[in-house]
Amino acid sequence: MLAAPRRVVPPPRDRISIIQAKTPTVAYYRFLYDAVGKEWQWASRKKLTDADLIQIIHDPQVGIHVLFVDGVPAGFAELDRRAPGEIEVTQFGLMPEFIGQGLGKYFLQWAIDKAWSYAPSRLWLHTCSLDCRRPPALLTFSSA
């Protein structure tokens, strides 16, 4: 994305909160990563040592934002601002129990809005065919 989208996605229900995990423990981060990514065969962060992972998740230019529903973690978004002028959504998803409730659309728009609040020149993400192997696809990333 080269410009912020102009759309509003209202929360699909009450008792939703999004909290930034400022310096998450490795165990907590790995819990989130595995809970969200297991069905999608996420593997990249599993290959990192704890020390290498800490270098990323404790970097002040990396934001880990956790979606909570009724006080329970429901998903997370990771925004990487380490490249000047750019933000990458490096991780995004919901835990399986929360898919299909309208939370993904809301949370993705929240993450997009949060990223654009830093005024980058570009917002981007990488995905793969495994992310979209079953409907509904979680990622709908466009400026429309």
Task: Please name the residues in contact with 17: beta carbons below 8 A apart, sequence gap of 6 or more.
Answer: 67, 68
pTM of the model: 0.85
Answer whether residue 16 shows pLDDT above 90: yes
Domains parsed from the chain with CATH numbers = 16-132 (3.40.630.30)
Answer whether residue 99 shows pLDDT above 90: yes
Of 29, 35, 33, 65, residue with least CA distance to 50 = 29
pLDDT in tens, 115-144: 999 999 999 987 765 555 544 444 444 443
Of 103, 133, 141, residue with least CA distance to 41 = 133
Answer whether residue 81 shows pLDDT above 60: yes
Residue reference for tokens 């020390």: 51
Q: What percent of the chain has pLDDT over 70?
A: 87
The structure tokens listed for 91 are 């991780």
pLDDT in tens, 48-70: 999 999 999 999 999 999 999 99
